[in-house]
Amino acid sequence: MHARIAGVGGHLPGTPVSNDDLVRRGVDTTDAWIAARTGIRARHLAAPGDTASSLALEASRRALEAAGIKAAELDLIIVATTTPDVIFPSTACLLQGRLGNVGAMAFDVQAVCSGFLTALAIAGNFIRAGSHRKALVVGAEVFSRLLDWQDRATCVLFGDGAGAVVLEAADSPGILAAAAHADGSQHGILCVPGQISGGRVGGDPFLRMDGRAVFRFAVRVLADVANECCAAAGVPVSAIDWLIPHQANIRIIAATAEKLGLPMDKVVVTVDHHGNTSAASVPLALDAAVRDGRVRRGQKILLEGVGAGVAWGAVLLQF
């Protein structure tokens, strides 16, 4: 039994907010600084009424339509998110209710920017084990809600969005290999340290980051986990048709591709359009490349990502 992607969908809320728009909104920055350091040109910001589940709903509808599968047929729904609608129930259950599905197993994965890869690996294992046949795997984030707009070193980097895939049991591949790791000793380099307790937010509720430490860590582990995943599947890195990395920073993406010996024309880059959308970034980039015809059936695709935890992972699949 294989677990194969049957359809992909994405959703970005509202209209793009350019780097110059941020300057007009009072952020002490420039388009030149942001573009040179990160490759980001624009991001999408959720409207006040948007939530992770409302963005997830749009992406999921598109993925289900592309797969030709009805929401009622799903027997597994996993949402990767760090910005759930509420503390509980899970965003996956809220999405399930919005989709009108009753009965599927539904739960969230919290692995921040590598959450979609973790969720995809989990869904793939359920399908290959034979317990489930049709899974919806979503990365959905309203990261703008965690941003300190006075902290120019972080607020320019992130955006909101959702991406989804429908994964189904199939006779042919499919997910070929998955790898995931974490190093909790590095939890302080990227975090939102606040907590809710006694009816109040305690501590600092905003995203905090040691950008240089994250950068160094990311480049090291992304190349390693890509090699690990390819070795596990017996697929040489040179045989990959597309590398679809977490869309955080073009310099991290380019440095990883260089370490892997992959030319940039084999790398899908969408970070310029939507910035870092955390768990949504990999499925959003996959969706863009499927819809514009770059990613085609039968091709070998390596998805990978890294983020807070620090947690990182990769999934190699035949599309």
Ligand X SMILES: CC(C)(COP(=O)(O)OP(=O)(O)OC[C@H]1O[C@@H](n2cnc3c(N)ncnc32)[C@H](O)[C@@H]1OP(=O)(O)O)[C@@H](O)C(=O)NCCC(=O)NCCS
Window 186-225: contact mask with ligand X (x via CB under 6 A)? -----------------------x-xx-xx----------
Q: How far is the CB of 248 from ligand X (least distance, A)?
A: 4
As annotated, the active-site residues are: 113, 246, 276
174 binds ligand X (CB under 6 A): no
Tell me the site size for ligand X, rule CB under 6 A.
Answer: 19
CA distances from 62 to 164, 166, 189, 291 (A): 8, 10, 35, 11
Q: How far is the CB of 114 from ligand X (least distance, A)?
A: 8
Q: How far is the CB of 104 from ligand X (least distance, A)?
A: 29
Strand, helix or coil for residue 53? helix
Binding ligand X (rule: CB under 6 A), the pick from 307, 311, 315, 319 is 307
Q: Tokens 């040489």 identify what position?
A: 236
37 binds ligand X (CB under 6 A): yes
Using CB under 6 A as the binding rule, the residues of this chain from 45 to 84 that contact ligand X are: none
| Cβ distance to ligand X smaller for residue 26 or 293 | 26
| Cβ distance to ligand X smaller for residue 89 or 211 | 211
Return the amino acid letter for 74: L
Q: How far is the CB of 243 from ligand X (least distance, A)?
A: 17
Binding ligand X (rule: CB under 6 A), the pick from 51, 276, 277, 318 is 276
Judge residue 241's burial from the number of C-beta atoms within 10 Å of its C-beta, 0-12 exposed, 13-18 middle, 19 or more buried: middle
Binding ligand X (rule: CB under 6 A), the pick from 51, 96, 144, 249 is 249
| Cβ distance to ligand X smaller for residue 3 or 119 | 119
Rounded CA separation 261/243 (Å)? 11
Using CB under 6 A as the binding rule, the residues of this chain from 108 to 127 that contact ligand X are: 113
Rounded CA separation 17/124 (Å)? 35
Rounded CA separation 222/272 (Å)? 20
Q: How far is the CB of 211 from ligand X (least distance, A)?
A: 3
Binding ligand X (rule: CB under 6 A), the pick from 20, 23, 29, 208 is 29
Q: Is the separation of the CB atoms in 221 and 312 below 8 Å?
A: yes
Q: Is the separation of the CB atoms in 81 and 110 below 8 Å?
A: yes
Window of 10-18, 176-184, 234-242, 244-252 that interacts with ligand X by CB under 6 A: 244-252
* Cβ-proximal residue to ligand X, closest one: 211
**Termini Cα distance of the chain:** 15
Rounded CA separation 313/36 (Å)? 27
Rounded CA separation 36/203 (Å)? 33
Q: Is the separation of the CB atoms in 223 and 252 below 8 Å?
A: no
Strand, helix or coil for residue 134? strand
Strand, helix or coil for residue 173? coil
Rounded CA separation 52/31 (Å)? 28
Q: How far is the CB of 175 from ligand X (least distance, A)?
A: 23
Window of 58-66, 246-254, 256-264, 288-296 that interacts with ligand X by CB under 6 A: 246-254
Window of 28-36, 95-103, 174-182, 231-239 that interacts with ligand X by CB under 6 A: 28-36
For binding to ligand X (CB under 6 A), which residues are involved? 29, 33-34, 37-38, 113, 152-153, 156, 209, 211-212, 214-215, 248-249, 252, 276, 307
